């Protein structure tokens, strides 16, 4: 229905700061509130680097079979093992196809 929040759920995600993994997350729910035009995520923290989570820019990264979704994090909160963040617009990153294996050389 129009105006209802849309949700994406998943099992594994991460928070990245540059090339570092700032947090490993489990059981996430990404929600888009159409009325507020706001993305957000809640998840369980599997492990986290408290220092890295205070740095910017941070990205919430949710993998899928052919790539990953990336959202810039605009505000983050971690309490106990619970992660909450407000997100910017999503960006899709597609993994390039795996190269074909080299041909098999047969000995005569």
b/e per residue 81-107 (b: at least 16 CB within 10 A): eebebebeeeeeeeeeeeeeeeeeeee
Which CATH fold would you assign to the domain 6-94?
Thrombin, subunit H (2.40.10)
Closest-CA residue to 52 (of 84, 16, 3, 82): 16
Does pLDDT of 1 surpass 50? no
pLDDT tens column, 33-47: 988 899 999 999 999
Closest-CA residue to 43 (of 25, 69, 58, 62): 25
More confidently predicted of 9 and 66? 9
Domain boundaries, the chain: 6-94
Task: pLDDT band for 65, please (50, 70, 90 cuts).
Answer: confident
Task: pLDDT band for 91, please (50, 70, 90 cuts).
Answer: confident
């Amino acid at each position: 229905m129009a105006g209802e929040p849309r949700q994406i759920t998943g099992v594994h995600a991460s928070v990245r700061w540059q090339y570092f993994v700032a947090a490993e997350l489990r059981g996430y729910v990404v929600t888009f509130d159409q009325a507020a035009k706001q993305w957000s995520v809640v998840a369980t923290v599997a492990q986290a680097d408290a220092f890295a989570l205070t740095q910017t820019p941070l990205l919430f990264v949710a993998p899928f079979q052919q790539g990953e979704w990336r959202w810039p994090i605009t505000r983050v909160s971690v309490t106990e093992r619970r992660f909450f963040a407000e997100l910017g617009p999503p960006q899709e990153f597609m993994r390039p196809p795996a190269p074909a294996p080299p041909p098999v050389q047969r000995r005569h």
